[in-house]
Structure 1
């Protein structure tokens, strides 16, 4: 089940000339959210985006809307973590964008992929 982690409030600086949410801004937020999620899961701050599948813009958001970014794990690879993402309007739950696959890769200090040893979702609270 998709868990929604981050909420964003659409402000004037987030809009395109049509007065709706600029897709590039939304993709920036998604990429950051996926990176933070993967870094926390893999416990490696050197985790980067390798791949994003096609991006399906389903609806838009306007100034003043509150959106939320949902991320879930599809699978653990040897050095990678494959995520899925959905962004929706917080109030109406209408889907704004869906990305089937985002592949994040764990790197060593030389920028080479390294095995992360993880096989299942972990919650930070359980590590403490």
Structure 2
């Protein structure tokens, strides 16, 4: 699992219990999955199709720093399936794990488009080509 993004939990991210609002965390995960997919598939037209059940294992409080990790489960013809772990860097606890986030590669008309990818590519390798 590679952790690409860190988020600082701010007052506007809290629920009435003064812990990280689940909807905010899910929005962060969705955005990270989209960014990861766009880079991997080299196409800005990617959408979320499916997110498996979620289970909050712990939380975060104001001032905590959370880290979002993504990894590829598999490449489909027009999709990429990811898994995600979010952890609290202050308490060293996992906050949430999402086992399946399916992102779909689209053409300019918004229809699924084959991407031809079969393995993770790193930007540094693309730049050296």
Q: Compute the displacement of 1:93 (Å).
A: 2.2
1:29 aligned partner: 28
Segments of structure 1 that go 5 or more residues without pairing to the other structure are none
SS of equivalent residue, structure 2 residue 16: coil
1:65 aligned partner: 64
Give CA-to-partner distance per residue, 1:37-91, whole Å, 9 cap, x none: 0000000100110000001111110001010001000000000000000000113
Segments of structure 2 that go 5 or more residues without pairing to the other structure are none
Which TM-score applies when normalising by structure 2? 0.97
SS of equivalent residue, structure 2 residue 80: strand
Distance 1:120 1:100 in 2: 18
The alignment of Structure 1 onto Structure 2 pairs a total of residues equal to: 127
Instruction: Please list every run of at least 4 consecutive aligned residues from structure 1 whose deviation after the TM superposition is greater than 6 angstroms.
Output: none
Deviates more, 1:85-94 or 1:55-64: 85-94
2:107 aligned partner: 108
Q: Tell me how large the CA RMSD over aligned residues is.
A: 0.6
Which TM-score applies when normalising by structure 1? 0.97
